[in-house]
Amino acid sequence: MSKLTEELSNHGCDMKVTLERFLGDEDFYEKCLREMLNDSSFEELGKAIEANDVKAAFESAHTLKGLAANMGLDPMLDIVVELVEPLRNGILDGMDVIYLKLMEEKKEYDKFLDA
């Protein structure tokens, strides 16, 4: 297990199952993780919440939910679910706070990649 996957595992990510999905190719996983963390959905979600655009916020959050799940980022997935379900029901109240929490979690993964 590489340093990155070990750190992710220690952070609460299910790396055993995730690496099986990536056929054990840790380099490919890292490349995909970098791409995922640079996905425009993070920024689009923030802009949609700021603009009170529930539909766009839901679409971005739902995209991030799928990305986080596929990458095995369980701590991030838990936060994104806190966004998706209220947004699905048209609720924007408090989403800005959860979005900030999501972005803090994203910074953790960015740090793991920079280490």
Average pLDDT over residues 28-38: 97
Query: Do 44 and 99 form a contact (C-beta atoms < 8 A)?
Result: no
pLDDT at position 115 is 77
Query: Which residue range is the domain that position 89 belongs to?
Result: 3-114
Report how many domains make up the chain: 1
- Is the pTM higher than 0.85? The answer reads yes
1: pLDDT strictly greater than 80: no
Residue-wise DSSP of 27-60: HHHHHHHHHHHT-THHHHHHHHHHTT-HHHHHHH
* Contacts of residue 32, Cβ cutoff 8 Å, sequence gap at least 6: 22, 71
Q: Is 99 exposed, middle or buried (0-12, 13-18, 19+ CB in 10 A)?
A: buried
> How many Å apart are CA 112 and CA 115, to the nearest integer?
5
CA angle 62-67-70, nearest 5°? 125
> How many Å apart are CA 55 and CA 45, to the nearest integer?
10
35: pLDDT strictly greater than 90: yes
54: pLDDT strictly greater than 80: yes
**CATH code, domain carrying 75:** 1.20.120
Instruction: Express each pLDDT in 55-111 by its tens digit.
Output: 999 999 999 999 999 999 999 999 999 999 999 999 999 999 999 999 999 999 999
pLDDT at position 38 is 97
pLDDT at position 91 is 96
